[in-house]
Structure 1
Amino acid sequence: MKLSSTLLFLGLFGLFTGLHGQSSEQMAAAISTETDAQFIYEYQGSKFVPPTGKTLLIMGQTKEGITDYQNNFGDEKQPGGWSAYWGIPEFKGVASAFKNNTGSTQNHQMLVDEFPNTVVHSAMWMVGILDIAKKTGLGTYDRVIKEYARWAKNVNRPIYLRIGYEFDGPHNELEPRDYIRAYRRIVDLFRAENVENIAFVWHSYAAKPYKNYSIADWYPGDDYVDWVGVSIFDHAYGGDDFGSECDAVLAFAKEHAKPVMIAESNPIQGIDMDNTKVWEEWFVPYFNFIHKKNIKAVSFINEDWTSLSIAGIEHWKDARLSNNKLVAKAWFEATAQKRFLHASKKLYKQLGYKKK
């Protein structure tokens, strides 16, 4: 009787936790690594693209999240890049630390100083609200752009710059005309300053767009875009179908011969301490998408969303890898595959970047 009760308890516990007796190796083995041939195509006018069959691995996105990651996984193989954010109106969080009103700290220079042989994944905040994009297009923030240009040249490493990230998201309220004018002005200023180590990323929300505009309405042109980016949050909870909007972005990228990066991603429903169900529900579809769609760079956000004061994400949860040892171990199993590029002395050469 006691044995039966114990077995019943263990069975129910395994079902509840989602462990099912699986090891991290078995969890990682659930990922399909096949690439759909239709997503293998030649890229044109793009910088710092990994070789065929490779994907650049990036982690982020705040000083606090990166510190948590390093404290828990500092002995693991380091990612090939790190993320940070800044806003077009002010040169803050770039050359030195800046704690913003969300409660998080940004510091691009820290990423350069502490993580050699990596890239910088830089997000430039620019919205339609308060006429930020309109002012950018009129030259109000030219001084800030030039200051960033000087900083970028000095760091002497590849930078992937997301100009007005999630340009089509309803939360950013960006009118296409204002966005395109601002985007082009920013790129033109960098080029006038002879900045050669920046790849320009056109980053879509990959969900229902602002005012139902077509994604093409925001496109600044092939000469101004090196990469196309997408955000992956709720998308992966639906299995391998990430939605028609996401499909449309990938089709647009192929049409314009641009590589695709997952510029922001996280299982926003949280990573629980004693439940690995998130692996099956989010991580497996996520990695399937990376392999199947031939995603060339991927940025994972290691963050406790409950600690940040950001409007619209009140229901997001703590989704740090450190919350669950088995999920974290499976993550490192999955990203240890030869597809993923990590920090190394040969990384820049693999990306086609010549250090000066």
Structure 2
Amino acid sequence: MKKRTIGILASILCIGLVACANDGYVERKNFGALYEPLDRVLHGGGQDPAGFLEYADALGEDRYPVLWMTYIGLEHPPEHILDWGKGVKRDLDAIGRDDLMPQIGLSMTGGNDDGSGLDALVARGDYDAQIEAFCEALAFIGRDSFVRIGYEFEGSWNNYSEAGFVGSWKRITTAMRERDLPVATVWCSGGGSAGPRPIEELMAFYPGDEWVDWWGVDVFSPGEIGMDWITDFCELSGEHGKPVMLGEVTPRHVGVLDGQKDWDEWFGPFFERIRSQPEIKAFCYINWEWDYWSRKLGFQWHDWGDARLQMNETVLEAYRMELDRSLYEHSE
């Protein structure tokens, strides 16, 4: 298993500064967070095994993603969570890349009769068996991983409370740390999809710097990309000494089928945001045909568009060229 460590040598920094100047992006801020790359941005995709493979195959060997997206919820029985872990290990082993890192969305929703979040129940210990199963699954997977606990925590669809979310976060994180699992926690906001909520309100959900390794935010519709809110969020993350992961990104209501028009509307501004925001150190692209998944899973995603890069050569080639920049870190 490959570990990413940060060694700050003067010669490497000099080379990095030259590369930044020649490659059109702002030099990254480095905070020394767990699994944080030095001067680069981790590249990931998903968000199901088949979608990941289609995405990786479309991009080519030299741009193979290093982050692999997956999801599980504490609302499931422990045996289901253990089976999920076995499936993740099976899928990752089949790919055959030892440096491929799971990026896991861990939810706490859907278990109450009224549809409310389980965060308060998790915080008081009612779901300790599920937490134990999740930890066992992580140990079985046996890879350096990111876990977005209660991702999009402020979103109304999750029904999390500030106290319940913070308590559940600490309980889950304590369990992972007691087992010395190779996991970085990501405090991931819903961003524009959740309002966006004023950042001072957002901080009521913050467990504290000692409990969090990375900050995160999800980015979907075109109007979200240029929001001052994201700038403020990223700058505040830097003040807390945390790199930012764009945990879920997809061109919602745009897609790829109109080629250059779609690139200009979503992809171009999105990558410009990454290049110009020095706190951003990771992103994960959802390579889905959203109407299909809406019908399959029963969500209202019917008009989100076809985001599969392989469906439009203009978008795909421009995307490949973007990822050829020295800024991005791929699987080796």
- Structure 2 length-normalised TM: 0.81
Q: Deviations 1:106-127 (Å, cap 9, x if unpaired)?
A: x464134424121111110124
Name the residue aligned to 1:280.
Answer: 264
Give me the whole-angstrom Cα distance separating, in 1, the residues matched to 2:93 and 2:74.
Answer: 20
Q: CA RMSD in A?
A: 2.5
Q: Is residue 95 from structure 1 mapped to residue 85 from structure 2 by the alignment?
A: yes
Give me the whole-angstrom Cα distance separating, in 2, the residues matched to 1:34 and 1:72.
Answer: 24
AA matched with 1:199: A
Name the residue aligned to 1:162.
Answer: 148
Q: Is residue 342 from structure 1 mapped to residue 324 from structure 2 by the alignment?
A: no
AA matched with 1:297: A
Give SS of 1:48's match: coil
Tell me if structure 1 keeps the 8 A contact 2:256–2:315. no
Give the CA deviation at 1:81.
Answer: 1.6
Tell me if structure 2 keeps the 8 A contact 1:173–1:210. no
Give me the whole-angstrom Cα distance separating, in 2, the residues matched to 1:308 and 1:121.
Answer: 20
Q: Is residue 62 from structure 1 mapped to residue 48 from structure 2 by the alignment?
A: yes
Structure 2: gaps (5+ residues) = 1-22
Name the residue aligned to 1:305.
Answer: 290
Give the CA deviation at 1:94.
Answer: 2.5
Give the CA deviation at 1:76.
Answer: 5.4
Q: Is residue 327 from structure 1 mapped to residue 315 from structure 2 by the alignment?
A: yes
- Work out the number of aligned pairs and report it: 295
| Structure 1 residues 173 and 130, CA gap change in structure 2 (3 angstroms) | closer
Give the CA deviation at 1:333.
Answer: 1.1
Name the residue aligned to 2:20.
Answer: none
User: Of 105, 115, 133, which residue of structure 2 is paired with 1:147?
Assistant: 133
Higher Rg: 1
Give me the whole-angstrom Cα distance separating, in 2, the residues matched to 1:276 and 1:326.
Answer: 6
Structure number with higher relative contact order (C-alpha < 8 Å, ≥ 6 residues apart)? 1
**More deviation, 58-67/157-166:** 58-67
| Structure 1 residues 217 and 88, CA gap change in structure 2 (3 angstroms) | same
Q: Is residue 201 from structure 1 mapped to residue 186 from structure 2 by the alignment?
A: yes
Tell me if structure 1 keeps the 8 A contact 2:255–2:304. no
Give me the whole-angstrom Cα distance separating, in 2, the residues matched to 1:245 and 1:169.
Answer: 16
Taking every aligned residue pair, what percent have the same amino acid on both sides?
A: 27
Structure 1: gaps (5+ residues) = 1-31, 98-106, 345-356
Give me the whole-angstrom Cα distance separating, in 1, the residues matched to 2:117 and 2:258.
Answer: 46
- Structure 1 length-normalised TM: 0.76
Give SS of 1:311's match: coil
User: Of 187, 207, 219, which residue of structure 2 is paired with 1:220?
Assistant: 207
Q: Deviations 1:141-200 (Å, cap 9, x if unpaired)?
A: 2222222222323333210100000111222221111100001100011112222x1000
Name the residue aligned to 2:104.
Answer: 122
Tell me if structure 2 keeps the 8 A contact 1:33–1:291. yes
Greater percentage in helix: 2
Give me the whole-angstrom Cα distance separating, in 2, the residues matched to 1:312 and 1:246.
Answer: 25
AA matched with 1:33: G
Give the CA deviation at 1:133.
Answer: 1.0
